[in-house]
Amino acid sequence: MKRGRKKQGEIVEKAVEKEEESKGSESYLGAANFETWIIGKYLDSDKFRFSVRILTANSIEESKDGEDKTILLISRIRNLMLLDLPVQDFPYTDLLMTALDRICWEEIASKRIEALEQDTSFWEEKTRREEKEKKDRERAEREAD
């Protein structure tokens, strides 16, 4: 029991130290603040990397219709994060929402848009995949007739 409390205390102390570091400067390891940095790392993890790349690609493509791709992507990534929140009536959810409100979503979206726009291999693979899917659909339609 004491060991668990000590471990929790160490975690809280580290979190407070990181928060103090981020308050003392305008950035945290190249990001606007600690919250932005940690969410950026989370979105780059294996769990979300593919989903975020697809959301980013869709935002880039759909923005050609006049909507700002950064705003579109911010909305999509934020919604993705909200889906991952625990649904409980505890203060933890309020604390998480407060932290999410501190994130510089524009920075998160801009970096992903810039990286994906420059990644020609992604766009080539996406085009190949779409062409294959189209051929498969056409073949299935011909076989159905």
Instruction: Write the pLDDT tens digit of every residue in 1-29.
Output: 444 445 545 555 555 565 555 454 568 88
Query: For residues 2 and 10, what is the distance between their CA atoms, to the nearest angstrom?
Result: 12
Return the structure tokens found at 131.
């062409």
Residue 85 is classified by DSSP as S
Percent of the chain whose pLDDT exceeds 90: 28
Compute the average pLDDT of residues 93-98.
Answer: 83
Which of 105, 131, 115, 93 minimizes the C-alpha distance to 49?
115
Neighbours of 77 (CB within 10 A): 23
Instruction: Write the pLDDT tens digit of every residue in 106-142.
Output: 999 999 999 998 988 888 988 898 999 999 999 999 8
Instruction: Give the type of residue at 114.
Output: E
Query: For residues 117 and 59, what is the distance between their CA atoms, to the nearest angstrom?
Result: 11
Give residue limits of the domains in the chain.
40-116
pLDDT confidence band for 105 (50 / 70 / 90): very high
Neighbours of 122 (CB within 10 A): 16
**Mean of pLDDT over the chain:** 81
pLDDT confidence band for 38 (50 / 70 / 90): very high
- Report, in angstroms and rounded to the nearest whole number, the Rg of the chain calculated over CA atoms: 20
